[in-house]
């Protein structure tokens, strides 16, 4: 966490926001006990691999070039590798898959549906909501209601419908 804060305080703030939301959603999806603790650590650290992506790429307004997209997408694999090296094996798997999409169009492994770890699916929904409702260097936050409506439109394609329902329950 200290390394993440030193690298980019916004990544730490975002991780805390995602963790708080994930912890509210998780009990509605049957995640409790030790799994909940693991989810919390993974949510806090889900973007740790972004500390190796240049700020001008992360904060770029507009579409990314192909090589820039590859750098950004690599953060899930890099973060997972960092967590494996730290002995956080369960967290590493969750972080690796936090950009997998329900329909299989995500990354890095193009998993789909229930093949994606539940904790990763929870983090993706929480991450999406927190990102949409937070100011970014390249755009202003959108209202919570608008973010929730957009997330609900993505249920069943990008996002796990059960996780979206859990978000709706807590937001």
Q: What are phi and psi of 136, to 5 degrees?
A: -125, 165
Do residues 99 and 140 touch, judged by C-beta distance below 8 A? no
Q: Please, what is the end-to-end C-alpha distance for the chain in angstroms?
A: 26
Do residues 163 and 25 touch, judged by C-beta distance below 8 A? yes
Q: Which residue of the set 50, 51, 97, 99 is catalytic?
A: 50
Q: Residue 72: helix, strand or coil by DSSP?
A: helix
In the residue annotation, 60 being an active-site residue is answered as no
Do residues 37 and 45 touch, judged by C-beta distance below 8 A? no
Q: Per-residue DSSP letters for 7-38? A: H-HHHHHHHHHHHHHHHHHGGGGT--HHHHHH
Do residues 160 and 120 touch, judged by C-beta distance below 8 A? no
d(CA 20, CA 70): 29
Q: Which residues are designated catalytic?
A: 50
């Amino acid at each position: 966490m200290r390394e993440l804060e030193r690298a980019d305080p916004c990544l730490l703030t975002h991780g805390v926001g995602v963790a708080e939301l994930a912890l509210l959603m998780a009990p509605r999806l049957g995640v409790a006990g030790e799994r909940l603790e693991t989810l919390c650590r993974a949510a806090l650290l889900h973007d740790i691999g972004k500390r190796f992506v240049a700020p001008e790429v992360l904060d770029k307004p507009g579409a990314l070039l192909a090589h820039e997209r590859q750098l950004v997408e690599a953060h899930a694999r890099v973060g997972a590798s960092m967590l494996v090296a730290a002995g956080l094996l369960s967290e590493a798997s969750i972080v690796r898959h936090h950009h997998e999409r329900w329909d299989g169009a995500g990354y890095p492994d193009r998993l789909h549906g229930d093949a994606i770890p539940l904790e990763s699916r929870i983090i993706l929904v929480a991450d999406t909501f927190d990102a949409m409702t937070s100011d970014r260097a390249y755009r202003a936050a959108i209202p919570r209601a608008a973010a929730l409506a957009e997330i609900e439109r993505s249920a069943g394609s990008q996002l796990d419908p059960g996780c979206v329902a859990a978000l709706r329950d807590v937001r």
